[in-house]
């Protein structure tokens, strides 16, 4: 999932894209040569996850020209293998030069994005987005968490920083049917690193 701004799409394909693209390849390039005056070689989409552009994870809307996107028509020429089908308007109708989006509006977008993530079939999703968007969204999301977790969620992201999160369906907390270690219960088995636990279990099995 990537914000449809030039800098986030360049970051997304740089991190999750394939190797250098060559003419005649069977798949479209993720990014063409020199996209956005980057001076970079074209990037292949072979053996890569799907890329989906989503407006909901954009940075604060309005005032700052760096947060205004170009037309989707232009972006499709620069990033041929990114899926822009969820974006309804070719031109940027969300950004305005005079009024900046409120923090409350950013939070609402972020929480709606999290709700939408639950509808996806994928279990592991990377989101390439913006510091301000993440700061406001995760601070709000963390209000229902343990203070230690909330503190971690509320830390400001550095440029190109990667963090991992597990979203838990609270309706499953304490459920005996869960088969996942992160579903709100103490995991079954030995409380030690998995490789050590596997070795110990093998030793115990050999004794029996």
Question: Residue 20 corresponds to which tokens in the numbers above?
Answer: 């250098």
Question: Residue 99 corresponds to which tokens in the numbers above?
Answer: 């009024």
Question: What percent of the chain clears pLDDT 70, i.e. is strictly above it?
Answer: 83
pLDDT tens string 133-149: 999 999 998 888 888 98
Domain chopping of the chain, boundaries: 6-206
In whole angstroms, give the CA distance from residue 59 to residue 67. 6
- pLDDT attached to residue 143: 86
pLDDT at 22 over 70: no
Question: Residue 96 corresponds to which tokens in the numbers above?
Answer: 């305005």
Identify whether the C-beta of residue 18 lies closer than 8 Å to the C-beta of residue 91. no
* 109 φ, ψ (degrees, to nearest 5): -60, -45
pLDDT at 62 over 80: yes
Identify whether the C-beta of residue 54 lies closer than 8 Å to the C-beta of residue 24. no
The DSSP output letter for 142 is: G
pLDDT band (50, 70, 90) for residue 166: confident
Burial of 36 (0-12, 13-18, 19+ CB in 10 A): middle
pLDDT band (50, 70, 90) for residue 40: confident
* 44 φ, ψ (degrees, to nearest 5): -80, 155
pLDDT band (50, 70, 90) for residue 183: very low
Do the bridges between strand 51-52 and strand 43-44 make them parallel or antiparallel, or are there none, so unpaired? Answer: unpaired
Identify whether the C-beta of residue 43 lies closer than 8 Å to the C-beta of residue 67. no
In whole angstroms, give the CA distance from residue 199 to residue 195. 6
């Amino acid at each position: 999932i990537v914000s449809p701004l030039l800098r986030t799409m360049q970051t997304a394909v740089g991190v999750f894209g394939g190797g250098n693209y060559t003419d005649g390849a069977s798949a479209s390039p993720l990014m063409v040569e020199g996209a956005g005056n980057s001076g970079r070689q074209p990037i292949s989409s072979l053996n890569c996850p799907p890329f989906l552009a989503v407006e909901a994870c954009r940075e604060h809307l309005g005032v700052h020209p760096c947060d205004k996107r170009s037309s989707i028509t232009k972006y499709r020429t620069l990033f041929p293998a990114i899926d822009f089908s969820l974006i309804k308007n070719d031109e940027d109708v969300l950004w305005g030069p005079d009024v900046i989006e409120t923090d409350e509006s950013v939070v609402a977008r972020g929480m709606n994005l999290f709700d939408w993530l639950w509808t996806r079939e994928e279990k592991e999703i990377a989101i390439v987005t913006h510091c301000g968007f993440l700061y406001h969204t995760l601070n709000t999301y963390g209000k229902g968490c343990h203070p230690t977790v909330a503190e971690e969620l509320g830390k400001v992201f550095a440029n190109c920083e990667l963090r991992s999160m597990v979203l838990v369906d609270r309706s499953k907390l304490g459920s005996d049917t869960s088969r996942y270690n992160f579903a709100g219960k103490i995991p079954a088995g030995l409380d030690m690193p998995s490789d050590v636990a596997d070795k110990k279990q093998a030793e115990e099995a050999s004794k029996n």
